Amino acid sequence: MNQDYVKIFDTTLRDGEQCPGAAMSEDEKLEIAHHLSKMKVDVIEAGFPISSPVQFQAVQRIAREVQGPIIAGLARAMKADIESASMAIAPATRKRIHTFIASSPIHMKHKLGKNPSEVLAMAREAVKISRNLVEDVEFSAEDGTRSEWEFLRELVEAVIEEGASTINIPDTVGYTTPEEYGKLFAFLKSKVKGAEKVIFSAHCHNDLGLAVANSLAAVLNGARQIECTINGIGERAGNTAMEEIAMAMRTRKDFFGIETNLETTHIARASYLVKNITGMVVQPNKAIVGANAFAHESGIHQDGVIKNRETYEIMKPESIGLKSNRMVLGRHSGRAGFKDRIIKLGFVPKDDELESAYNRFLEIADRKKEIFDEDLTALFTEESRKSDQDIYQLTRFEISTGTEKPPSASIEIKIKDKIKTETSKGDGPVDSMFKAIDQATGIHPLLLRLLISPVTEGADAMAEASVTLELDDKRVVGKASSTDIMEACAVSYIDALNRL
């Protein structure tokens, strides 16, 4: 099957969420799915419906509420999985069942306990059942890059005969290299009967740092779908990064001769959204979306960019949704200017969210000389996350610490309509404050992770805190930003408690 573009199959909500600590709520998944639709991704893999009732409900809600992309549900080569996926994606206008089974000798023997002929029969049956439920069926040969090529050819031929329209060859453990992966696609495209009737797909993991390179090699050898995630999140070292794939093919169309249909101007917002929801910080030197991706410190580089941006920039910041000349707001900025900037940053503000965010903006403007786009993004994202159902609210805190003084914290929390005050000592100021909050709320969760990162540069920069808590097998992420690091930590912790 020929087409003049490469499909983007986004698996942020499925494979990306399997990354430790990246679990998302139903509302958070829906928010990301709506943004993926705005980006015009071709396929959204919304989740693995049979894995839990929460997963099923999230997939079903995305299928019902998100228009545009194909909505896919993952299913093992088992009837129950396939039927669950079919029910979850049923409300979607365009739907796909994505079924898979392992095909490598090591997986078939040690994981499945099956021989090749049994795996072949299971794959046939899975695609046959899926095809009776939906028209669009994708089949994945798990651990495809460590499979025997001749068996892989036989397996792919079999599922095409049963009606699979997309064939995915995953590099499940990030083992292959660009040359080897490219040759595998060329082999399958030329040797598989019926290859011309299907789209071949690449799904790569980044264990050796080759996921993007391998995916591009697959494209050069006939793949016309790439499975990827925003910011490259995913199990272990992550998945192919969507933003890197899209911008590589756009920037080097002269070499690849083909592009995606992705609206790349929404990339920066997507990156921030996923970072904020999952709490997974993007490294500053990350390609495309890192804080330093379009920064120049070297005098030689700055001089070149001033004279001609193309001397040291192969892409324009505007192409991913960044502004090269950042708008700076201050305490004298009015509501109109604030609202205009929020809208230009990609938000669709409700009146109550806008008013609350503007009041918070004025508070921060009194502490900071300048407020940049990044500050506004963090500020408005935090305000839009607040809920009328929040039980706990920080009203006051005080920290005491020093080289010869044990750290202690005093906090005042509004619990519904009552005020509770507690004081506690700890190993450090943050530990003291978290213990005081636990005492006030009566909740004692396990702190899994605390991440603190600056939103912008400078001594008065806003700090963004992300806290991951676990209680009774439920894991949540809380977030907050402030010019005061300790306040950001306290509010992010309380945000997580509200989510619990």
Q: Domain containing 187 — which CATH number?
A: 3.20.20.70
Q: State residue 482's pLDDT score.
A: 85
Q: What angle do helix axes 26-38 and 53-65 make, rounded to 10 degrees?
A: 30
Q: How do residues 178-188 score in pLDDT, each as one tens digit?
A: 999 999 999 99
Question: Which residues partner with 169 through β-bridges?
Answer: 202
Q: State residue 297's pLDDT score.
A: 44
Q: How do residues 66-120 score in pLDDT, each as one tens digit?
A: 999 999 999 999 999 999 999 999 999 999 999 999 999 999 999 999 999 999 9
Cα separation, 497 vs 481, whole angstroms: 16
The two three-digit tokens of residue 85, written as one number: 């996926």
Residue 212 sits in the same domain as residue 298: no
Residue 252 sits in the same domain as residue 360: no
Q: Where are the beta strands (DSSP E) in 12-165?
A: 43-47, 70-76, 95-102, 137-142
- Among the listed residues 35, 58, 45, the one whose alpha carbon sits nearest the alpha carbon of residue 10: 45
Residue 309 sits in the same domain as residue 332: no
Residue 216 sits in the same domain as residue 77: yes
Cα separation, 374 vs 496, whole angstroms: 23
Residue 337 sits in the same domain as residue 473: no
Residue 244 sits in the same domain as residue 305: no
Mean pLDDT of 195-221: 98
Residue 371 sits in the same domain as residue 462: no
Residue 381 sits in the same domain as residue 414: no
Helices (DSSP H) in 48-107: which residue ranges?
A: 53-65, 79-89, 105-107
Mean pLDDT of 270-278: 88
Q: How do residues 338-361 score in pLDDT, each as one tens digit?
A: 787 778 777 777 888 788 888 878
The answer to whether residue 379 is domain-embedded is yes
Q: State residue 390's pLDDT score.
A: 82
Confidence grade of residue 328 (pLDDT, cut at 50, 70, 90): low
Q: What angle do helix axes 178-191 and 211-220 make, rounded to 10 degrees?
A: 30
The answer to whether residue 196 is domain-embedded is yes
Say what percent of the chain tops pLDDT 90.
Answer: 62
- Helical (H) or strand (E) element with 425: strand 418-425
- Among the listed residues 22, 62, 203, 24, the one whose alpha carbon sits nearest the alpha carbon of residue 73: 62
Mean pLDDT score of the chain: 89
Q: State residue 295's pLDDT score.
A: 61
Q: State residue 316's pLDDT score.
A: 82
The answer to whether residue 283 is domain-embedded is no
Residue that wins the pLDDT comparison between 308 and 333: 333
Residue 379 sits in the same domain as residue 448: no
Q: How do residues 383-421 score in pLDDT, each as one tens digit?
A: 666 666 788 999 999 999 988 888 999 999 999 889 999
The answer to whether residue 130 is domain-embedded is yes
Q: State residue 315's pLDDT score.
A: 81
Degrees to nearest 5, angle at CA 124 with 49 and 54: 5
pTM: 0.80
What CATH number does the domain containing 403 carry? 3.30.160.270
Q: State residue 123's pLDDT score.
A: 98
| Host domain of residue 331 | 326-385
- Among the listed residues 158, 160, 208, 161, the one whose alpha carbon sits nearest the alpha carbon of residue 181: 208
The answer to whether residue 86 is domain-embedded is yes
In the predicted structure, residue 302 carries a pLDDT above the cut 60: no
Residue 401 sits in the same domain as residue 426: yes
Residue 399 sits in the same domain as residue 309: no
Mean pLDDT of 226-242: 96
The answer to whether residue 2 is domain-embedded is no
Residue 374 sits in the same domain as residue 446: no
In the predicted structure, residue 312 carries a pLDDT above the cut 60: no
Mean pLDDT of 24-49: 95
The answer to whether residue 288 is domain-embedded is no
In the predicted structure, residue 310 carries a pLDDT above the cut 70: no
Confidence grade of residue 177 (pLDDT, cut at 50, 70, 90): very high
Residue that wins the pLDDT comparison between 227 and 298: 227
Q: State residue 324's pLDDT score.
A: 54
Q: State residue 483's pLDDT score.
A: 83
Number of domains composing the chain: 4
Counting DSSP H helices and E strands in the chain, the numbers are 17, 14
The answer to whether residue 1 is domain-embedded is no
The region, left, alpha or beta by phi > 0 then psi within -120 to 50, assigned to residue 480 is beta
